Structure formats: structure tokens, C-alpha cells
Structure 1
Amino acid sequence: MTPPVDPSLNRRKLRLALRQARERTGLTQRQAAERVEWSQSKLIRVETGTVSVSVSDLRALLALYDIDDPDSVHQLEEAARGSKGPSWWSRYHEVVTPQFAQYLGYESAATSLQTYHPIVVPGHLQTRRYAEALLAPRGLSPERTERVVDLRMERQTRMFGGAASPDATFVLDEAAVRRQVGGRDVLTEQLQQLLDFGAQDRITVRVLPFEAGAHYSTLGSFVLLGFSDDDDLLYLEHAAGSMTGGEDLELLARYQECFQTLMELALGGTESLDLIGRIMQDLAAR
């Protein structure tokens, strides 16, 4: 069953539409806020998608921006009604940092995802047992480990379980598909899941072989999110997490170029899945 539209997606729809409408009128945020007798901070929160929008507040902005097309008004009013309430990940608040919560909001709206992982299988594709084994050395309590794993499993279902799933490309270093996280049985199960995901139409799994040598992102993983209605976004995965979009176009461009290089260096789709299959056979033979 396709998950319901998350409130964060409706807030994002409103954020983009209202910001673009204001810019078309030539009004600054301060000028627009003064015209509807709001504080500037309230308008900023609406345009960043961090708060829901009431239908009455929306109508005040639509009147200011001369938006009166019935279909457009109806769609935006429905988005306003659907913008209330917590996002799906809010129930995992004890294990989700504010930075990662912001990223999840963007990821939920992305139409494409491109990512490279040099060490382990990414959370998007992990089995439950692999995720548990990966977290074991961190010394987390059993309860916290379960919550983190539950978050990953729900994220995976939401990303790939519906008709609106993004076009996702995963480049995994050969080390990631050979490292025996959890032992042979756990890795075998994980590799089978990679094969299953790799067989889906909108998911591509590629392996970067050892002989590929060094490249720009040898030392870390990253995610590139693409949108049909907004700028691309780069997420660098480390302890604190880091996001950049239009505010650092040079860094974004470097990682976009890096991903293209990785795709050129990686094995082809069929070759990658064949390698994963051979690694599984090697594990079974031991």
C-alpha cells in the first residue's frame, strides 16, 4: 500500500509556490509580510517549509499575489490542509538529529537519488540484520538500536514501496559488498537484497571495483538529490551531517562531477550484479 502524503511534502509544495509567487510580484519578504500584517519571521518560516499554513493565512497570501485560478487555488488549499501534523519520522525524534530530519524532508520529495558509499551498504538498502550488526559496535542500548533500525526500515519502505519512488542509483565500493558485517549469513542475506533491489526498474546498483584507484570522494560517502521543481542538493554523510544546495554551487558541481566519474569507473549494471552473485557463491563455498 502506498504511504499517505507526508505533511512535509505539502509544506514543501506551499514553500515553493508561495516563494515563486512573491518573487513574481517583486515584493521582498518584509514588504509581503507588512501587506498581510504578519511578522517577517512568520513569512520566512512559511517560505522555508518549517511550519504548516492555515487556509485563511494562505488565502491572504494568494490575494496579495493575485493568484485566483480556481485549480491552482484548490490545489494549494488542499496542500495547506495537508500541511498540518508531524512528519513520519517525528516519532523517531529520540534518534533523529535536526540536521537529519531536515535531510529526510528533502529526500522524501526528491525525484532522483544518486549516492556513493565506500565502506558499507547504505541504509536505504540494508536488511534488518545487517543494520543491527552494523550498529552493534557503537554500544547503543538494545532499545535505541531497535529504534534506529526501525527508522531505516520504514524509510526504505516509504522510498521504494510506492508508485512515486525516485530514480535511485547506488554506487558501492567493492569493499562495501565484501565486508562481512555480521558474518557470512548476514552478508549473504544482504547481498541477496542488493540483487533484488538491483532488479527493480527504478533502482540501479553499481560496484566500484578495487582496481578503480583513487578519486575525489575516496574518503567519504555522499548523496545527491534531484528535484523537478527545485535546485539539486548535496548531503555529505559524516557524524554531524552536512547539506548544501544553491548556496554552494561550486561544491555541488564538484560532487556531481565526482559521481559521473564514479559511474565511468564502476562496473556496468549487469557486471555489478554478477560480481555480487559471485561473492555470494564464494561465501556459500567456505
Structure 2
Amino acid sequence: MNRRRLRLELRRAREAAGQTQTEAAQALEWSLSKIMRIEAGTVSVSVTDVRALIQQYGVTDPKLVAELEEAARGSKGPSWWAPWSDIMTPGFKSYIGYESAAASIRTYHPVIMPGLLQTEDYAAAVLKPLTDDARARRIIELRTARQERTLEGDAPPPWLFFVVDEAALYRQVGGPQVQRNQLQHLVNMAQRPRVSLQVLPLTAGAHYATQTSFVLLGFHDDEDLLYMEHRGDATVRDDFELIVRYQECFEWLRETAYDTEHSIDLITRVREGIDTT
């Protein structure tokens, strides 16, 4: 979050000063890649570098200067997900940092429940064919921590929009009882404030995301970000044409899916129809 704040504010300051990245780098006798990485939010930034940049850009607002210096100090601290860094891909580390700062999260998965909606037992069943038990437990710990931070964090939680495929309601991941509990969890989640949950009916047919899951992160002061796990945990920020395609796709999914009341009724009927004897 601190790196993102620095990325946005320093880019704005440079553009307000009428300088290109190359001009700023030459004036500071830095490499162009250093400026580019700072504005991409992929590196931490020292207070000394921030002071050099704001002087170069002519930033004089004392409140903004103090906030940027504090963000620079925070950008060097360990991230909350540091205990699980060894089980995370570089792409997912980048994504989860943005997720922590998002104002809205829009998620669709065509096969199973999205990670932020999964119970621990359901997640364990999903992971069982993919990895060993020890690694699966740590992944579930991380997923649970993500859910808690997203739903129960100190800051105002983001708006959450989920479209769940109807097929996922019937697929008994982990067996009948695990699936029943998972479906009840969906009902509970759908009744929370700032959560929208809809079910895409089987009659919807094929669409742009028929074979892929995706997440769109929205921000108050920046463009949307697209995350696609099937592309190697790719976080897409600059391919605006691709992002627009998935924005349009998600709006189509929401328009085609059942509304929340109908979705809850369907989930409840499917749950009650699962035989656990």
C-alpha cells in the first residue's frame, strides 16, 4: 500500500512538473530503470530518494511531503504476508499487495468457489490433488488470513462482487458434508454488508471467461487491475484493451446471473438436496 501511494503521487508530481521519466533520471543522475521501478511500485523507496524526487519535481506542500516520507519508511517494512512468502509465486506477491489496497474486488471462477469464499475444508479438498499436506496447510493459513483482512480489517473493507458458476454449487468438492457447509457459507457471506454474490445459471452458455477465472481490482484513484491465475499469476495493469474486455465480461456476467435473492434461494435448495447419509 505504501509503495502504491508512492507510485501514484510521485508519478503525478513528475507529470505536474512537466518532466518525462528520462528527464527526471538524467537530472538526478539515476538510471531510467530506477525511476520506472519506483513508478511501477515494484521496489521499496528510501526516504533520501523520496526527498530527492520531490525536490526535483518542486513539491512544496509540507503535509504531502511528510506523508510521502512516511510512506517511504513503511515501504521498507515487512508485508503482512511475509510469513508465507516461501509458498507464494512472485506474481501472486505482486497481486496480493494490490488486493490489500483495493476499494473493490470483482471475482469470477468457472469451476469452483473463489478463494475468498472458500471454507477451510473446501480449500483443503481443492488443494489435495495439487500439493502435499504440509504445503496445503500453509496455503490455507494464508487464504484464511486474506479473508480475515478483507472482511474484518481495521480499514473500511472493499466492496466484494462475486459471480459463482451454478456448476460449482453441484460439484461436491471434499464430499457431501464439506459441500453442504460450503454452500451455507455462501449464504452467510451473501448477507454481509458490502458483499454481492450472484450465481451464473447453467443456461448462460459460453462467454468470454468460460474457461478462465479472473479478478478485477478497483481503486479510488487509479485504473483497474486485472489478475489471471491461469496465466502464471499474471497481474495486468497496462494492457488497457485486455482489462476493458474483462470489465465488459464481468458486467455481462452480473447482468446474466441471478440476482442475490434468487441466488440465495438456489444455493439453499441445492444445499438441502445434498444427501449426507
TM range (shorter): over 0.9
* CA deviation vs aligned residue, 1:123-174 (integer Å, no higher than 9, x gap): 1111111100111112x22211111111111111111112421111000100
Give how far 1:28 is off. 2.0
CA distance in 1, matches of 2:115, 2:79: 19
Residue 260 of structure 1 corresponds to which residue in structure 2?
Answer: 251
Residue 47 of structure 1 corresponds to which residue in structure 2?
Answer: 39
| SS at structure 1 position matched to 2:245 | helix
Q: For 2:18, which of 26, 29, 34 is the aligned residue?
A: 26
CA distance in 2, matches of 1:47, 1:232: 16
Structure 1 ranges of 4+ moved more than 6 A: none
Pairs within 5 Å for 1:7-22: 9-22=1-14
| SS at structure 2 position matched to 1:238 | helix
Give how far 1:260 is off. 1.2
Preserved CA contact (<8 Å) 2:89 2:233: no
Letter of the structure 2 residue corresponding to residue 153 of structure 1: T
Preserved CA contact (<8 Å) 2:198 2:259: yes
Q: TM-score, normalization: structure 1?
A: 0.91
Residue 194 of structure 2 corresponds to which residue in structure 1?
Answer: 202
Q: For 1:244, which of 236, 249, 255 is the aligned residue?
A: 236
Residue 148 of structure 2 corresponds to which residue in structure 1?
Answer: 157
Residue 99 of structure 1 corresponds to which residue in structure 2?
Answer: 91
* CA deviation vs aligned residue, 1:61-107 (integer Å, no higher than 9, x gap): 11111111121112112211211123222322222111111111221
Residue 190 of structure 1 corresponds to which residue in structure 2?
Answer: 182
Give how far 1:270 is off. 0.7
Cα–Cα, structure 1 residues 40 and 215, in superposed 2: closer, same or farther, change >3 Å?
Answer: closer
| SS at structure 1 position matched to 2:88 | coil
Letter of the structure 2 residue corresponding to residue 252 of structure 1: I
Letter of the structure 2 residue corresponding to residue 45 of structure 1: R
Letter of the structure 2 residue corresponding to residue 185 of structure 1: Q
Give how far 1:116 is off. 1.1
CA distance in 1, matches of 2:226, 2:39: 20
* CA deviation vs aligned residue, 1:180-224 (integer Å, no higher than 9, x gap): 000111111111111111111111110011122222211111111
Give how far 1:284 is off. 5.2
CA RMSD of aligned residues (A): 1.6
Residue 132 of structure 2 corresponds to which residue in structure 1?
Answer: 141
Q: TM-score, normalization: structure 2?
A: 0.94
Give how far 1:34 is off. 2.8
Letter of the structure 2 residue corresponding to residue 270 of structure 1: E
Q: Which sections of structure 2, spanning at least 5 residues, go unmatched?
A: none
Residue 56 of structure 1 corresponds to which residue in structure 2?
Answer: 48
Preserved CA contact (<8 Å) 2:94 2:235: no
Q: For 1:128, which of 116, 120, 124 is the aligned residue?
A: 120
CA distance in 1, matches of 2:20, 2:241: 27
Letter of the structure 2 residue corresponding to residue 191 of structure 1: L
CA distance in 2, matches of 1:259, 1:41: 35
The aligned length equals 276
Preserved CA contact (<8 Å) 2:200 2:253: yes
Give how far 1:244 is off. 2.2
Q: Which sections of structure 1, spanning at least 5 residues, go unmatched?
A: 1-8
Preserved CA contact (<8 Å) 2:103 2:220: yes
Letter of the structure 2 residue corresponding to residue 18 of structure 1: L
